Amino acid sequence: MKKNVSRFLLVVLAVVVMLTIAACGNSQQATKTEPNAGGKKPVIALSNSFYGNTWRHQMVDAFEAAAKLAKAEGLIADYIILNGDGTQQTQMTQMNDLILKHVDIIAIDSFSPTAMNGAIEKAEKAGIKVLSFDSIATEKDNYKLNFDFPKFGKDMANYAVQQFNGKANVLIVRGVAGSAPDNDMYEGTMEVLKNHPDMKVVGTVYGQCTTSVTNSQISSILPSLPNVDVVILQSGGDDYGAVQAFQTAGKPVPKILANGSAEFVKWWSEENKKNGYTTWGECSTPGIGSAAVWLSIALANGENVPKDMIMPFAEISQKDLEKYQSMQPGTIVSPEYTKDWVYQNLLNKK
């Protein structure tokens, strides 16, 4: 009897697992291969190392939207999207799979700067051009579309300096301890602040790019801080975590630089109507996925693409606040980058 029960439970568990896999299947691996009608049109692929956070979801959505458009316009024969689980092995498998399928271009959001270099080299030997973006790979022959993180840190600090005429108490929220973007952004910020001795850093916390961590880190030191004038942050979602920390503590919310979370943009707009609160910000936008599509097509057509390109940040200012009001909760400001934009800003930039 007991054995039967456990067998039954095993079957139930197996069904649950299969259903879960089926449910995730749609989003995890969207392979849409149809007969190659044009014969010569390229097939582009996305190899995404990690699919567990909102940013990557939006990036993949942006890639897919642009690729669909390109397919409808007849610019590509097809596209393949492979999403990983945040491990090196999975992305290796993805790359091998794509090499075997012999796609024309692989756009890769890499597991790490170096871990995928071997796989990329292998793809290039097989005649596939590789474009790494967001989390780029250092392999010498691949095309790179990178965010300029030190500039981000500088932009944030410069805005703070300008708003407060070089005299303010600053709270800095860093990102993931030990990560390269965190280091770059922080150094950019400090480079600006060190030239303004009256910009006093009263506290530095690590928000780990997670709203809940940012919130509790700021909350825990807030009672011991002097008055904070401005908060400099790095990553979408942290901005709203900071707002909540100040509100819970019953303190007036200082100028918090926007990082593009839907929640913050909404709060900012409401506050602005109430009392004229305003701020400014930038974010490393997931819309980079759409830019990667147009660059991949340019590469496939043999156009002149620079090896190193810089992706600008999406700016968030008072004037375009209204157009972000319909954003889905939990998402980050993500403008869609068109083909024309890519040609003007990335390909023909001198």
- Residues contributing to the site for other proteins (CB under 8 A): 5-6, 9-10, 13, 16-17, 20, 23-24, 27, 51-54, 57, 177-178, 203-206, 208, 210-213, 215-217, 219-224, 237, 240-241, 244, 247-249, 262-263, 266, 328-330
Instruction: Say how far apart CA 277 and CA 321 lie, in whole Å.
Output: 12
Nearest distance from C-beta of residue 4 to other proteins, angstroms: 12
Which of residues 6 and 227 has its CB atom nearest to other proteins in the complex? 6
Least distance to other proteins from the beta carbon of 150, Å? 19
- In the complex, the smallest distance separating the C-beta of residue 16 from other proteins, rounded to whole angstroms, is 7
* Closest distance to other proteins from the beta carbon of 210 (Å): 6
Closer by beta carbon to other proteins, 9 or else 126: 9
Are 258 and 238 a contacting pair, CB within 8 Å? no
Taking the complex as a whole, how short is the minimal distance between the CB of residue 209 and other proteins, in angstroms? 9
Is 3 or 319 the residue whose CB approaches other proteins more closely? 3
Phi-psi category of residue 159: left, alpha or beta, with phi > 0 → left and psi -120 to 50 → alpha: alpha
Closer residue to other proteins (CB): 142 or 259: 259
- DSSP 8-state secondary structure symbol assigned to residue 256: E
- Shortest distance, CB of residue 281 to other proteins, whole angstroms? 18
Which of 220, 348 has the CB closer to other proteins? 220
Contacts of 172 (CB under 8 A, 6+ apart): 186, 189, 201, 203, 204, 205, 231, 232, 233
Q: How far is the CB of 185 from other proteins (least distance, A)?
A: 14
Q: Are 292 and 133 in contact (CB under 8 A)?
A: yes
Do 150 and 187 meet the contact criterion of CB atoms below 8 Å apart? yes
In the β-sheet with 29-31, what is the strand arrangement from edge to edge? Answer: 29-31, 78-83, 43-48, 105-109, 129-133, 143-147, 308-311
Q: What secondary structure, in 3-state letters, does 76-140 show? A: CCEEEEEECECCHHHHHHHHHHHHHHCCCEEEEECCCCCCCHHHHHHHHHCCCEEEEECCCCCCC
Q: Which is nearer to other proteins, 82 or 297 (CB)?
A: 82
For residue 22, the surrounding DSSP H or E stretch is helix 2-28
Which residue, 42 or 281, is less far from other proteins as judged by CB? Answer: 281
* Bridge partner list, 244: none
